[in-house]
Amino acid sequence: MPTRLPEMIRKYEQTLLSEWIAEQKNALGRKLLKDAEMEQQCTAFLRALEKGASKGELANLDNPAWNEMKELLNNVSRSRGLQGYSPSETAIFVFSFKRPFFTKLAKELPPAQVAEEQWNATLLLDQLGLYTTEIYQKTREELINRQQQEMLELSTPVVKLWDGVLALPMIGTLDSARTQVVMETLLQRIVETGSGVAILDITGVPTVDTLVAQHLLKTIAAARLMGADCIISGIRPQIAQTIVHLGVDLGTVTTKATLADAFALALQRTGQTVTKVGLAKKKKEKEAEKERKERE
Amino acid sequence: MERIPILRMGKYLLVTIQVDMHDRLAMQLQEDLTTRIAKENSRGVLIDISALDIVDSFIGRMLADIAGMSRVLDAQTVVVGMQPAVAITLVELGLSLHGVRTALDVERGMKLLEESIGEATFAGNVDESDGPGDES
């Protein structure tokens, strides 16, 4: 027996729509969506439902008859996912349609048919609801992946501190993937800037275990092969203790407690000095005075 | 047969590797270089590998070997211009080339040699001020 669903929708579109929207507002509690947008989405949903159901394929969502519906649900759950709706709040969009529709069914059809129609419609709406949840999940996963990627790039900046001095402030846990990125960006920047000294600052690294230490040593060895010296700075007291307890041999690597100390050493190694303006002035004045005296 | 040219620059020898290194070429270079160091009485060797994109464990070991051989012949080796990818590969292979000095480019490598050998010659000159080595 063909389903009465499309016929019902055609007949009662306006009443269904208003009741459904009321149902959604009731379920959601807060109003996140504009009325016009909600109405537009619901109308589109009804049209697509009618279109899909009139092809007679109620149980099989893979049928091309449902393509329009799928596309609509894609958009709806994507936009709701990005707007911060929870998965159940997104799925309510579909599930809340049940009550107004079933009430209409009970009124319209003889009791013998109601059970079957209801069962068919439930099957269909459940599938559609699950589909929205799936899409919602996918959207969130994409978001998380993108953020992870961004964090990976953000957390490994290589900054030029001074002529010939690079600094690499590392923040967060160092795993293999991140060290690889760190190593590559550092070496690339060494080539680009022709820097002779690189400071690896690990103030923001919460723990240093043997693996992290090995990663650091590898990076330093690679930089040395290219002809750049590395200084490790920002080793906190606890980390110093851990390193010794673990028996990690930092070997010939120069280590400094703070970035400032490391920077001073780097300047010394590259043969540069920084002086206070006042001091430089005084020195000049003194020299000028000396010259004057000599002339006299 | 293909050979890697070894250029003489004053007290030093300059080797620029511009072609893909294969094993036979590397062996030939080792042979040529040691001969030249002995013949010219060179104090330093600069190996420029900035054009080298690919290394394997053999080439890596060869670089370390050359450095070791030069040291025996009293010449210092400086490897200059290593590409990032090459450096990462060598480290991953476990070849950190301990004992080989490195510099970013030929200019800095030359300066490095100048500094270390200049001091050494100066110290040597105090001991043997009329030695035959410093008449050039």
Domains of chain A by residue range? 5-150, 159-281
User: Which residue bears the tokens 């092809």?
Assistant: A55
* Collapsed DSSP state (helix, strand, coil) of residue A215: helix
Q: Is residue B98 less than 8 Å (CB to CB) from chain A?
A: no
- Taking CA–CA distances from A179, the nearest residue in chain B reads B88
Three-state SS at A255: strand
Residues A159-281: name the CATH superfamily.
STAS domain (3.30.750.24)
State how far Cα A277 lies from the chain centre.
Answer: 45
From CA A177, how far away is CA A114, in angstroms rounded? 59
**Cβ–Cβ below 8 Å for B84 and A190:** yes
Q: Is the pLDDT of residue B1 over 70?
A: no
**Burial (CB count <10 Å: 0-12, 13-18, 19+), residue A122:** middle
- Pairing state between β B6-9 and A254-255: unpaired
CA B109 to centroid of chain Cα atoms: 10
- In angstroms, the separation between the Cα of residue B130 and the nearest Cα of chain A is 34
A223 with B108: Cβ contact below 8 A: no
The pLDDT tens digits of the residues spanning B57-69 come to 888 888 888 888 8
Q: Residue B45: which of B73, B25, B75 has the closest Cα?
A: B75
pLDDT computed for residue A80 by the predictor = 81
Q: Are A101 and A16 in contact (CB under 8 A)?
A: yes
What is the average pLDDT value for chain B, to the nearest integer? 83
Q: Give the three-class secondary structure for B110.
A: helix
Residue B93 in contact with partner chain A when CB distance is under 8 A = no
Is A32 an 8 Å CB contact of chain B? no
Residues 6+ apart with CB under 8 A from A24: A38, A42, A92, A93, A96
pLDDT at B128 over 50: no
Domain A5-150, architecture per CATH = Orthogonal Bundle (1.10)
A78–B contact, CB cutoff 8 A: no
Domain presence at residue B136: no
Confidence of residue B131 (pLDDT cuts 50, 70, 90): very low
A221 in contact with B, Cβ within 8 Å? yes
Q: Which of B91, B98, B111, B113 to mutate to test the interface with A (most CBs of A within 10 A)?
A: B91
Taking contacts as CB-CB distances below 8 angstroms, the residues of chain A near B79 are 225, 227
Per the CB < 8 Å rule, is B84 touching A226?
yes
- ipTM associated with this complex: 0.74
pTM of the model: 0.63
What are the 10-residue block averages of pLDDT along chain A, 296 residues in total?
Answer: 74 84 78 75 85 74 81 85 80 86 84 82 87 88 87 80 91 81 90 92 86 88 92 90 86 88 92 82 85 86
Residue B94, domain CATH = 3.30.750.24
- Closest chain B residue by Cα to residue A270: B108
Mutate to test the interface with A, among B59, B82, B86 (most CBs of A within 10 A): B82
pLDDT mean over B110-125: 72
Nearest beta carbon to residue B88 from set A191, A195, A222:
A222
- Cα-to-chain-centroid distance, residue B90: 17
Higher pLDDT, A219 or B117: A219
Say whether B97 and A187 touch across the interface (CB within 8 A). no
* Structure-derived torsion over alpha carbons of residues B79, B85, B87, B93, reported in degrees to the nearest 10: -130
Angstrom distance (rounded) from CA B123 to CA B118? 9
Residues of the domain holding B53: 6-126
**CA neighbor of A74 nearest in space, from A96, A90, A92, A58:** A90
Q: Which of B90, B92, B103 has its CB closest to that of A227? A: B103
Contact B96 A226 (CB under 8 A): no
Contacts of A92 (CB under 8 A, 6+ apart): A24, A27, A28
B107 shares contact with chain A (CB less than 8 Å): no
Q: Which residue of B has its CA nearest to A222?
A: B87
Show residues of chain A in contact with B105, CB under 8 Å.
Answer: 194, 227
Q: How many folded domains does chain B comprise?
A: 1
A181 touching chain B per CB within 8 A: no
Q: Which ranges constitute the DSSP H helices of chain A?
A: 5-28, 35-54, 67-82, 87-95, 98-108, 111-154, 176-193, 210-226, 237-246, 259-269, 277-295
Whether A238 contacts A218, CB under 8 Å: no
pLDDT score recorded for residue A13 = 83
Residue that wins the pLDDT comparison between B117 and A244:
A244
pLDDT at position B135 = 41
CB of A252 closer than 8 Å to CB of A227: no
pLDDT at A65: 79
**B1 in a structural domain:** no
Q: For residue A277, how many C-alpha atoms fall within 13 Å in the half-sphere facing its CB?
A: 0
Query: Between A98-108 and A111-154, two packed helices, what is the crossing angle to 10 degrees?
Result: 170
